[in-house]
Amino acid sequence: MMRTTVLTLLALGSVSYVVSQDAEKPAPGKLVLLIAAKELTVTQGQQLQITATVSNQGKMPITLVLPGDGSESGWRSPVIGWSTIKVEKEAAKHPDTPPLYRGGRCGNINPLKKEEVFVLAPGESKRLNEWLGSPQLAVPGTYSIVFFYANEPDRKWRGLPLGQHDPEAMKQVQNSHKCLLVSNELRVVVKPKD
């Protein structure tokens, strides 16, 4: 039987996250996903530089996995995605699950390495790595941006690895904490090119 707990914290705005787990296991802690950008105003065509950090605000250590090649397409755990909505669209709202990348890609993925599985002790934070991608901001306007991180230990991995997955790391992935994290919202302004 599955149980889902939805919590909201107030810290630098509203941060929402969802933690799902088996009802038989005790709640391991509270995870918070925060995104930040150096600049909240960019020019059309300019790449937005965003960082994402996951923090353990609970009382127990939690095992998680860094995003990797294929995470954006749902080919491996964790599954990640950016939701980008133009603020002018009043009826639009962010989805409940990570929006997946639907563009073309090769059939390969990088092999899992042991350093991609990590334990967050209570009070610790970890900045997620270079496989985050970035939100799509094609036309001028004001955007609401949210980032998703879904660690799914039971997910069947797809793609052809360019080398062998570390067998011990794959075991750790299967024993990692299942969760769906939704970041805080950023409001970004895209200005037209001069």
- What would the two tokens of residue 64 be? 């998680």
Q: Cα–Cα distance between 79 and 172 in angstroms, integer?
A: 17
- pLDDT per residue of the chain (194 residues) written in tens, 0 to 9: 333 333 333 233 333 344 433 333 444 569 999 999 999 999 998 889 999 999 999 999 999 999 999 999 899 999 999 999 988 766 678 888 888 776 666 888 899 999 999 999 999 999 998 899 888 888 999 999 999 999 999 999 998 888 899 999 999 999 999 999 999 999 999 999 88
- Residue 72 and residue 128 in contact, taking contact as beta carbons nearer than 8 Å: no
Length of the chain counted residue by residue: 194
CA distance 37 to 51: 6
> Any alpha helices (H) in the chain, and if so which ranges?
167-174
Q: What is the reported pLDDT for 12?
A: 32
**pLDDT at position 27, please?**
45
In the three-class reduction of DSSP (H, G, I as helix; E, B as strand; rest coil), residue 108 is classed as strand
